[in-house]
Amino acid sequence: MTYKAVLFDAYGTILDVDSAAATLASSGRFPALKDRWPELAALWRARQLNYSWLRSLSGDYILFWQITCDALDYALEALGLEDAEMREALLDLYRRLDAYEEVSEVLDAIDSAGLPAAILSNGNHQMLADAFTHAGLIDRFNAMISVEDVGIYKPSAEIYQLGCNSYDAAPGEILFASSNGWDAAAAAHFGYHSLWANRASMPLERLAGTPHHIGSDLRALIPLLSSS
**pLDDT of 228:** 56
Q: Please answer whether residues 145 and 170 qualify as being in contact, where contact means their C-beta atoms are separated by less than 8 angstroms.
A: no
Burial of 161 by CB count in 10 Å (0-12 exposed, 13-18 middle, 19+ buried)?
Answer: middle
Q: In this model, does residue 80 exceed pLDDT 60? A: yes
Domain with CATH 1.10.150.240 in the chain: 19-94
Catalytic residue of the set 9, 16, 98, 183: 9
pLDDT in tens, 167-180: 999 999 999 999 99
Catalytic status, residue 9: yes
**pLDDT of 100:** 98
pLDDT in tens, 37-68: 999 999 999 999 999 999 999 999 999 999 99
Q: State the Cα–Cα distance between residues 93 and 107, nearest whole angstrom.
A: 24
Q: State the Cα–Cα distance between residues 139 and 111, nearest whole angstrom.
A: 12
Q: Does domain 19-94 have CATH number 1.10.10.60?
A: no
- Using pLDDT thresholds of 50, 70 and 90, give the confidence band for residue 226: confident
Single-letter amino acid, residue 114: G
Per cent of the chain over pLDDT 90 is: 98
Q: What's the rounded mean pLDDT across residues 87-94?
A: 98
Q: Please answer whether residues 152 and 145 qualify as being in contact, where contact means their C-beta atoms are separated by less than 8 angstroms.
A: no
Buried b (16+ CB within 10 A) or exposed e, 132-148: beebebeebbbbbbbbb
What kind of architecture, by CATH, is found in domain 5-15+98-227? 3-Layer(aba) Sandwich (3.40)
Domain with CATH 3.40.50.1000 in the chain: 5-15+98-227
